[in-house]
């Protein structure tokens, strides 16, 4: 029994070390700098440990992005309004885009690496699926006359690492998020379809 707990503690420690190593490599050299070999070496674990835990570079990027967005997910489900339940859908959408924009602005290299690693199956990524469903639900409640499935994908498509980097400047660090929110307001207040 003690051996199992020790093994689980090692697994938790190894997972944390691998994710921290991947993040450090992203910060130092961008997405092209992250390989499973480099991550394993920096984390002080065997490459097999990384493969068993994450399966691939895409799995590693998915796990890192999911970890970065966990607090946002919890706030959406259980937090106070306007991000959490209880606020009108338009207010919740703007609050959610603010939170997601903050993640994007601080993790642009991760977004780029995630996009490249998961390019063939991006819409099946757990974080993407949660974000899409939440945006879809809010838009469907606020504007049932629109194609909210498409619009949720369209809003998420602008969360591109290169675009985030290009729009994020020292003199206006929240420009990207403000622009995405402006786009959402335009959708919410556009004239109904006839």
pLDDT over threshold 60, residue 96: yes
Structure tokens at 59: 């799995």
Long-range contact pairs involving 27-30 (C-beta distance under 8 Å, separation at least 24): 27/109, 30/109, 30/112, 30/113
pLDDT at 44: 94
pLDDT at 65: 83
- The answer on 110 and 22 residing in a single domain is no
pLDDT band at 142 (very low <50, low <70, confident <90, very high): very high
Q: Give the distance between the most distant pair of CA atoms in the chain.
A: 67
Distance of CA 38 to the CA centre of its chain: 23
Domains in the chain, number = 2
pLDDT at 141: 97
Instruction: Assess contact for 108 and 160: CB atoms under 8 A.
Output: no
Paired residues of 169 in beta bridges: 172
Share of the chain above pLDDT 70, in %: 95
Instruction: Assess contact for 156 and 144: CB atoms under 8 A.
Output: no
Would residue 16 count as lying in a domain?
A: yes
- The answer on 79 and 47 residing in a single domain is no
pLDDT over threshold 80, residue 5: no
Least confident of 39-53, 87-101, 105-119, 150-164: 105-119
- The answer on 172 and 82 residing in a single domain is yes
- The answer on 90 and 129 residing in a single domain is yes
- The answer on 166 and 78 residing in a single domain is yes
Helix, strand or coil for residue 158? coil
Tell me which of 90 and 56 has the higher pLDDT.
90
- The answer on 180 and 132 residing in a single domain is yes
> Which residue range(s) make up the domain with 108?
65-189
Structure tokens at 83: 């991000």
- Residue 164: name the closest of 121, 103, 120 by CA: 103
pLDDT band at 125 (very low <50, low <70, confident <90, very high): confident
Please state, in angstroms and rounded to a whole number, the distance separating the CA atoms of residues 192 and 194.
6
pLDDT over threshold 80, residue 67: yes
The domain that holds 47 is classified in CATH as 1.10.10.60
- The answer on 172 and 107 residing in a single domain is yes
pLDDT at 194: 67
Please state, in angstroms and rounded to a whole number, the distance separating the CA atoms of residues 23 and 141.
37
- The answer on 129 and 168 residing in a single domain is yes
pLDDT over threshold 80, residue 189: yes
Paired residues of 172 in beta bridges: 169
Please state, in angstroms and rounded to a whole number, the distance separating the CA atoms of residues 44 and 130.
32
Would residue 194 count as lying in a domain?
A: no
pLDDT at 1: 53
Please state, in angstroms and rounded to a whole number, the distance separating the CA atoms of residues 11 and 177.
36
Would residue 44 count as lying in a domain?
A: yes
Dihedral angle sign, alpha carbons of residues 66, 72, 76, 79: positive
- The answer on 93 and 38 residing in a single domain is no
Cis status, amide bond into 82, omega within 30 of 0: yes
Would residue 45 count as lying in a domain?
A: yes
Tell me which of 111 and 81 has the higher pLDDT.
81
pLDDT at 143: 96
Rounded to 10 degrees, what is the CA torsion of 119, 120, 126, 127?
Answer: 20
């Amino acid at each position: 029994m003690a051996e199992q707990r020790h093994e689980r503690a090692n697994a938790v420690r190894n997972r944390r070390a691998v994710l921290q190593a991947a993040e450090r490599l992203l910060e130092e050299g961008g997405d092209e700098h992250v390989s499973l070999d480099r991550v394993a070496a920096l984390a002080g674990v065997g490459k097999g440990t990384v493969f068993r835990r994450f399966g691939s570079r895409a799995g590693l990027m998915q796990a890192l992005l999911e970890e970065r967005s966990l607090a946002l997910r919890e706030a959406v489900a259980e937090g106070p309004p306007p991000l959490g339940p209880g606020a009108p859908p338009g207010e919740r959408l703007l609050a959610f885009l603010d939170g997601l924009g903050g993640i994007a602005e601080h993790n642009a290299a991760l977004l780029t690496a995630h996009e490249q690693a998961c390019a063939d199956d991006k819409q099946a990524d757990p974080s993407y699926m949660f974000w899409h469903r939440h945006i879809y639900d809010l838009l469907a409640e606020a504007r049932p006359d629109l194609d909210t499935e498409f619009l949720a994908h369209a809003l998420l498509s602008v969360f591109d690492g290169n675009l985030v980097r290009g729009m994020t400047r020292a003199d206006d660090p929240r420009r990207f998020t403000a622009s995405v929110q402006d786009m959402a307001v335009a959708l919410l207040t556009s004239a109904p379809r006839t």
